[in-house]
Amino acid sequence: MPDIDIVTPLRPASLSRMGRSLTAFFLPHRIIMVLVALFALAMMIRTMDWSWLPAYMPRLWEGLGITMLMLVVSVVLGFILALPLAIAQVVGPLPLRWLALSFCTVIRGTPLLLQMWLFYFGLGSLLGQFPEIRETWAWPYLRQAWPYGLFSLTISFAAYQGEIMRGAFTGVPKGELEAARAFGMSRAKTFRRVWFPRAVHRALPTLGGEIILQLKATPLVATITVTDLYAVITKVRQDTFLTYEPLLFLVAVYLCLSGVLTVLLRWMESRVPDAR
């Protein structure tokens, strides 16, 4: 190992990038925090009852799958829906603007739990009263619970994200749009080439937080009989009469998921160029 590189003395000669970022990560206070966490974990494993875990593992995986599916699908569909909601509020004709605004206000202003129940118990049973609907291909789906859960989650994400995108659209500096106009861009092209990408760019930093909020909203689907991770844990608690162990397990899983999401979105954000 060469100890000092004389030509470029400022560059650490042998430390890899990975190694350097690791040493930068392990500051004293972090080391202590990690030790405390490890200790707590060890205590939990030693003193608590985890014997139920292997038997329920397949169901837990399934529940996790449903939770993730609910999250990913509702975020993607919700985001796609949010765009017209935002655009209508920013440049739409008055009736459309008003409609989009009231939609967002109503959805954001009422509890998601309530919406889910209204859709599931209200709309679900209403649809079942029409034989025309019972005979279509859609009925086998509509008589299950998950479409209503997914629908509510999607609508909710769309409303929140629509509001954020509206802010992002109006927040794009006028000068950038004016420059586009001054160079002879049509309105449509100005939108496509400048306004829209700039708005998405500006909304990106808050997207991570919104997705994590959405993750934390998914357990509500358990209240309408969808067996997501939370529902499986509830079942465990009923079967085993254990209180803390299943809940702690749940905490650990949600923490891991938010952690992974945070890291993933940070990385995505870092790949987008920095702009004012």
Single residue of 1, 24, 45, 182 touching other proteins by CB under 8 A: 182
CA pseudo-torsion sign 263, 247, 239, 228: negative
Per CB under 8 A, does 185 bind other proteins? yes
Copy the structure tokens of residue 25. 């990560």
Q: Which of 179, 256, 263, 268 binds other proteins (CB under 8 A)?
A: 179
Between residues 71 and 199, which has the closer beta carbon with respect to other proteins?
199
Q: Is 186 in the site for other proteins (CB under 8 A)?
A: yes
Whether the CB-CB separation of 262 and 211 falls below 8 Å is answered with: no
Nearest to 230 by CA among 221, 238, 241, 239: 221
Q: Does 276 bind other proteins (CB under 8 A)?
A: yes
Comparison of 46 and 174: residue with beta carbon closer to other proteins: 174
Q: What string marks each residue from 255 to 274 as x (binds other proteins by CB under 8 A) or -?
A: ------------------xx
Nearer to other proteins, 49 or 178 (CB): 178
Answer yes or no whether residue 203 interacts with other proteins by CB under 8 A: no
By CB atoms closer than 10 A (0-12, 13-18, 19+), residue 71 is: buried
Closest approach, Cβ 207 to other proteins, in A, equals 16
Per DSSP, helices labelled H in 26-93 are 28-47, 53-91
Q: Are 71 and 157 in contact (CB under 8 A)?
A: no
- Of 147 and 167, nearer to other proteins (C-beta) is 167
